[in-house]
Structure 1
Amino acid sequence: MMTRKEAIARADEKLLSELGYKQEFKRAFTPLEVFGISFSIIGVLPSIASVLVYSLPNGGPSAMVWGWAVASIFIVCVAMAMAELSSAAPTSGGLYFWTHSFSSPRCRNLLSWIVGYANTIGSIASLASTDWGCAVQIAAAVNIGNQSFVATQTQTFGIFVAVIVSHGIVCSLGTDILARLQNLYILLNFCLCFVVLVGLPIATPKEYMNSASFALGNFINFNGWPNGFAFFLSFLAPLWTICAFDASVHISEEATNATTAVPWGIVGAASAAGLLGWAINISLAFCMGTDLTSLVNSPQPMAQIFLNSFGKTGTLVIWSFVVIGQYMMGSSMVLAASRQTFAFARDGALPFSSILYRMNHFTGTPVNTVWFVVVISALLGLLSLAGTQATNAVFAVSVTGLYVAYAIPIAVRFIFKNDFKPGSFNLGIFSLPIAVISVSFMAFMNIVFFFPTTPQTSITNMNYTVVVLGGVLVLSVVWYYFPVYGGVHWFTGPVPNVDKEDATEPASRNSFVDGSNGGGGRG
């Protein structure tokens, strides 16, 4: 008699076959570990440490506390809309797969192509920004020990390259090892949050403790934009932190009970990060003192807050774990980005797809795509040598690029006629309103993130986000319509790779496999 575990494994493989793909990965991720990969990529405390520099000058404590609260509500809406899609069709290339399945035959190939490239470059930019944040934090640790040392951009880039290469080595390991690491990542992230929520208020001297009126109601604007717009600019902190939760989607083919584990991993990670992040920002607002100018001008604002509260030795101990947490974020991000790249190469959409779509027989993982992601991310990190604004563009693209990839499949499900069949995670009558809220929010925030840091700008301090993101999207479209060799001549969306005798296509899933209903399938 078949055990429950075997029945779940059989159902996972059967569903993937119905979607058109054979089982190539080992399903080693438990539901907790599926949650863990998204939660570890979010990395609440290390991420807040990396992006505090965006909320502090754009509203100070009010933006940290209330900006985070407002943005988190919308982010959870995005997570729920994505979770519903992932429950219906859990596959590694989920976002561009859903786009192709739900769009009209007239435009589904192009839209799927755009989403695939936006998701790929957005994931790689997320890795670059995560590991750049790790490099800055390592440099900050040296600065804590020796305050006469301030790392140059070149030195920070060298640390960044070392970090990202080590991630390539880690993520070339077997699936079992990568899955078990997520449990460690979850534990460390919760412990770090506990330290700040409990330890920081206890350790902070009275001269750095703030009143409730300052911590919760004081709006300080350093950059010159109107206060309302500055408040929106502060959203980059929560949006960059609670992002890339599509990581759970990209390990769908390595997850057990994927139709349930993946959507709850997405929603659980986004919700937990929203609540924990809000609590941490409240703790920081009460314990950071009133001299925000010195914090904004410090090499690492959160490190300076810790130094004021815990002292040199205590800060070095805690900060070392912050760096480890940030390092773990990068490790999980390489894992997720490589799986998206593998899926896109499986469908022949990337240059050198035949090389990238290869499974290492020894580790059972796509080692080629792991190192492809590492190399492209390292090249993207070269932008940091152009200055602070170029670095900011990489951070922003990791949000705006992914939001392009998130918004399109959520929107096309309702714009075009299709035969969507919900999975176990179903929003019911709330599906459409949550989708409208999600897409509207992402579109609005993408526009906001194209604005420069200050109203008075120049060539050196302009916002290059639109250049980087626009360049990627324009090049992808040019590549699609390129004469003779472009994708328009050969790309037909997701390509089934299951043997015909093994493929099962029940009527309830036909819309995902052969496009026989409306505009919702592969054509």
Structure 2
Amino acid sequence: MKTAAATEVVVQDVSTRPEDTRSLASDEAALAALGYKQEFKRAFNAIEVFGIGFSIIGLFPSIASVLVFAIPNGGPVAMVWGWAVCSFFLMFVACALAELGSAAPTSGGLYYWTWTFATPRWRKVLSWLVGYSNSIGLIAGLASIDWGCAVQLMAAVSIGTNEKFVPTTGQTYAVYVALLLSHGMVASLATSIIARLQSVYIALNICLCLAIIIALPAATPSEFRNTASFAFGGFANFYGWPNGFAFMLSFLAPLWTIGGFDASVHISEEASNARTAVPWAIISAVGIAGILGWVVNVVIAFCMGTDLEGIMSNPIGQPMATILFNSFGRNGTLAVWSIVVIVQYLMGSSILTAASRQIFAFARDNGLPFSGLIYRVNKRTATPVNAVCASAFVALLLGLLAFAGPSANSAIFSLGVSGQYVAFSIPIVCRFLGGAEWTPGPFTLGRFGLPVAIVAVAWMAFAVAIVAFPTAPAPDAQGMNYMVVVIGGWLILCLVYYHIPVYGGACWFNGPQVTVEEAVLPGKDEPESLDGTQDEKFSESKK
């Protein structure tokens, strides 16, 4: 039990704080109830918490990066109606995660919730798998964003040289490495700087979308303007799948674009009023991205022309850049494209920030190799610099898949979706089937929680199956979708590492670790919650 003195100090500290810092005291108390001491500065306000998730989505640059998946698998129908279908179902996923994020806002998020709600028999291995799936999903998201940014930069060079420059994979990878290194420096800045940057990210993202919505129709010559029947009903199928299945394969584009919205959870230990800010940030990021992104896709469908094969095969090497070139010309495209590249770059810094906080939290709970090294907070910046470096290094290795060909490169994009959805699904299922008591936070779905969870998990299972298919039927080695190999290999390695005798995770991983010093007296292994009652969750974690 806590001593009376310790309890008195906590109460006195909260009561004597100024009014504008009471929420910070409440956040620290809520984190302490989860077993963790406050190690980061809480510098993110509600808008900035929304900003990190919305900036990772990065609407127009993301649409530009994955248009290569939508055009061949449905064309305008996939862009417009595929986006609408995915946005609708992704809102169920967002609501299910938002409810969990409100109940227990911690940087570990998904694996922490899994441990909390899973049955004692399965919580250890499931929490382990979720931690690793969430980590690789975020890092794959970083890799795909930075690879997309490198391709966009090379497309700009191609436009500027009248399509005479055709970049090699090695040149693109070199740019990719440079982007990762620079993002590592940005993500290592002080929390207050990263938080203030989010307002800039939000403004740039929205302004870029509005500029495209207004300027693209105005600048597009009549020869490239499409009718409403084509924009809403035109269909293309380049690879030979049945039309309906080709349409479903195009879902990779919106699924990847509206992804990474769990980032708000991972910076919850740096946010004020996290129990309210985190869930609303998740829901608003997905909702705004779904609506605004649909409008952007409609505008593109009206202004892309009907020669879809020409767009895909253009020497520029980037379908969206080709569409802009046809509408704005060389100089206009370079002006717009420079903003696209900047916004895509900002996406990379945001997702590396989120990934590093997940890696830090997992290392804090001793879930990673070299956890003692990774779990360190830089004294100067008060940020997890070692976790930033570890995340960037793994992303650098993932980028090597690009040398195996376009299909292997697309596996990076698919891995970002599949890794995240595996990590999203397990804690949602455990919440309802694990048998643990559920105490909701300020945001709750009430009686709608179960049906929302069922739809969310069913949709994610369907999505993972879809993104695992190859580009074309009967693929050869070059046409294979290596996502199954990558995510399957990753999960198998995680399980092997877990079960290795003596050295495996089963021997030393014990879920969330208590780091609140005053929560445990000498000789006691079972901390208590802030109200003085024993915390059963942590009691179980020590067994």
Question: Shift of the alpha carbon at 1:501?
Answer: 4.5
In structure 2, the CA distance between the partners of 1:92 and 1:63, relative to structure 1 (3 Å rule), is: same
Mean Cα displacement is larger for which, 283-292 or 490-499?
490-499
Question: Which of 147, 152, 162 matches 1:132?
Answer: 147
Paired position in structure 1 for 2:426:
408
Paired position in structure 1 for 2:294:
278
What SS does the aligned partner of 1:505 have? coil
Question: Which of 513, 518, 522 matches 1:495?
Answer: 513
Give the alignment of 1:391-406 within 5 angstroms. 391-406=409-424
Q: Does 1:420 align with 2:415?
A: no
Paired position in structure 2 for 1:79:
94
Opposite residue 445 of structure 1, the aligned amino acid is: A
Q: Does 1:44 align with 2:68?
A: no
In structure 2, the CA distance between the partners of 1:369 and 1:512, relative to structure 1 (3 Å rule), is: farther
Please give the alpha-carbon distance, in whole angstroms, between the structure 2 residues aligned to 1:511 and 1:420.
14
Q: Which ranges in structure 2 are unaligned for 5 or more consecutive residues?
A: 1-15, 521-526
What SS does the aligned partner of 1:50 have? helix
Question: Shift of the alpha carbon at 1:202?
Answer: 0.8
Give the alignment of 1:16-415 within 5 angstroms. 16-146=31-161, 147-298=163-314, 299-415=317-433
Q: Which ranges in structure 1 are unaligned for 5 or more consecutive residues?
A: none
Please give the alpha-carbon distance, in whole angstroms, between the structure 2 residues aligned to 1:209 and 1:413.
50
Opposite residue 466 of structure 1, the aligned amino acid is: V
Please give the alpha-carbon distance, in whole angstroms, between the structure 1 residues aligned to 2:438 and 2:535.
7
Question: Shift of the alpha carbon at 1:363?
Answer: 0.7
In structure 2, the CA distance between the partners of 1:206 and 1:89, relative to structure 1 (3 Å rule), is: same
Q: Number of residue pairs matched?
A: 519
In structure 2, the CA distance between the partners of 1:81 and 1:359, relative to structure 1 (3 Å rule), is: same
Opposite residue 6 of structure 1, the aligned amino acid is: T
Please give the alpha-carbon distance, in whole angstroms, between the structure 2 residues aligned to 1:229 and 1:412.
31
Question: Shift of the alpha carbon at 1:4?
Answer: 3.1
Please give the alpha-carbon distance, in whole angstroms, between the structure 1 residues aligned to 2:186 and 2:109.
24
Please give the alpha-carbon distance, in whole angstroms, between the structure 2 residues aligned to 1:74 and 1:156.
35
Backbone CA RMSD of aligned residues: 1.4
Please give the alpha-carbon distance, in whole angstroms, between the structure 2 residues aligned to 1:35 and 1:278.
20
- Decide which structure has the larger Cα Rg and report it: 2
Q: Does 1:431 align with 2:455?
A: no
Opposite residue 165 of structure 1, the aligned amino acid is: L
TM (norm. structure 2) is 0.94
What SS does the aligned partner of 1:457 have? coil
Q: Deviations over 1:219-241 (max 9, x none)?
A: 11111111111111100000000
Question: Shift of the alpha carbon at 1:335?
Answer: 0.3
Mean Cα displacement is larger for which, 294-303 or 401-410?
294-303
Opposite residue 119 of structure 1, the aligned amino acid is: N
In structure 2, the CA distance between the partners of 1:510 and 1:153, relative to structure 1 (3 Å rule), is: farther
Question: Shift of the alpha carbon at 1:2?
Answer: 3.7
What SS does the aligned partner of 2:471 have? coil
Please give the alpha-carbon distance, in whole angstroms, between the structure 1 residues aligned to 2:311 and 2:102.
43
Mean Cα displacement is larger for which, 238-247 or 1-10?
1-10
In structure 2, the CA distance between the partners of 1:359 and 1:114, relative to structure 1 (3 Å rule), is: same
Question: Shift of the alpha carbon at 1:514?
Answer: 2.5
What SS does the aligned partner of 1:290 have? coil
Paired position in structure 2 for 1:480:
498
In structure 2, the CA distance between the partners of 1:512 and 1:301, relative to structure 1 (3 Å rule), is: farther
Question: Shift of the alpha carbon at 1:422?
Answer: 0.6
Opposite residue 274 of structure 1, the aligned amino acid is: G
Q: Quick one: percent identity of the two aligned structures?
A: 57
In structure 2, the CA distance between the partners of 1:98 and 1:294, relative to structure 1 (3 Å rule), is: same
What SS does the aligned partner of 1:58 have? coil
Please give the alpha-carbon distance, in whole angstroms, between the structure 2 residues aligned to 1:4 and 1:491.
41
Please give the alpha-carbon distance, in whole angstroms, between the structure 1 residues aligned to 2:114 and 2:542.
10
Opposite residue 340 of structure 2, the aligned amino acid is: V
Asked whether the equivalents of residues 84 and 427 of structure 1 are also in contact (C-alpha less than 8 Å), the reply is yes
What SS does the aligned partner of 1:349 have? coil
Asked whether the equivalents of residues 528 and 535 of structure 2 are also in contact (C-alpha less than 8 Å), the reply is no
Opposite residue 490 of structure 2, the aligned amino acid is: V
TM (norm. structure 1) is 0.97
Q: Deviations over 1:272-318 (max 9, x none)?
A: 11111100000000000000001122310000110111111111000
What SS does the aligned partner of 1:221 have? coil
